[in-house]
Amino acid sequence: MASNRSVVITGGSRGIGRSCCLEFAKSGADVVFTYYKSKDEAEQLVVELKKIGAKCFAFQVDVGDYNQCQQFAIKFLDKFPKIDILINNAGIIKDKALFMMQPEDWLNVINVNLNGMFNITRNFITTFMKQKQGSIINISSLSGVIGLPRQTNYAASKGGVIAFTKSLAKEVAAFNVKVNCIAPGFIETDMLKDLKREYLDKAIGQIPLKRFGSAQEVAKVALFLASQEADYITGEVIQVDGGLGM
């Protein structure tokens, strides 16, 4: 499905990003991913991807820093003649009730989750337009669709991802570039580890499918959206949430 295509995945060393790297590599893509702090995990993933047979590179990038994103795009385009797929996945959470939330809790989440998506996409968008082809997939969250308590910062950032996706999809459709969004619900990644057991049990009780999703399930949706089978899909938000957002 992704043979002989290049994919850039931000926040690729862990969680959903890691699963995206593996799924696209298995499908024949060349994989380039960014990471922020998880150097050991990134190096281990590179080894795994090369064993699969993928051409792979990892770059340490703070997506919240526009200049770093600009330099990353330049380095990528030095190694590859074009970019076929961009997956904006990098994200953080700093959950707190609003009355306890500090300004840095708000700013850090907005800077990574929303500004980071702008910083990366802005530095690749003209290449996509010149190519007149490509797929951009932004990872939002169910929290950005329905809102969840103690996540005003996260929900605002992920709601912004959805609005960004729809606006950009309309801008670049004439260039044959499609832009879509995935809004995962409760997915079994490191982000769930800090949540209390009673909260998780309550969440499962509210999910129609009565389980949490896997990062691989999200990655497979990303692989579909980047495929030729999805060439007539753009500006969409696909919820991968077990029915929680119905």
- The one-character DSSP state at 229 is G
* Conformational region of residue 167, where left means phi above 0, alpha means psi within -120 to 50, and beta covers everything else: alpha
> How far, in Å, CA of 184 to CA of 237, rounded?
10
Catalytic: which of 35, 36, 66, 154? 154
Token representation of residue 60: 């340490």
Token representation of residue 173: 């459709």
- For residue 154, indicate whether it is catalytic: yes
Taking the CA atoms of residue 233, residue 234, residue 239 and residue 245 in that order, the dihedral angle to the nearest 10 degrees is -110
3-state secondary structure 91-124: CCCCCCCHHHCCHHHHHHHHHHHHHHHHHHHHCC
> How far, in Å, CA of 97 to CA of 151, rounded?
7
Residues with a known catalytic role: 154
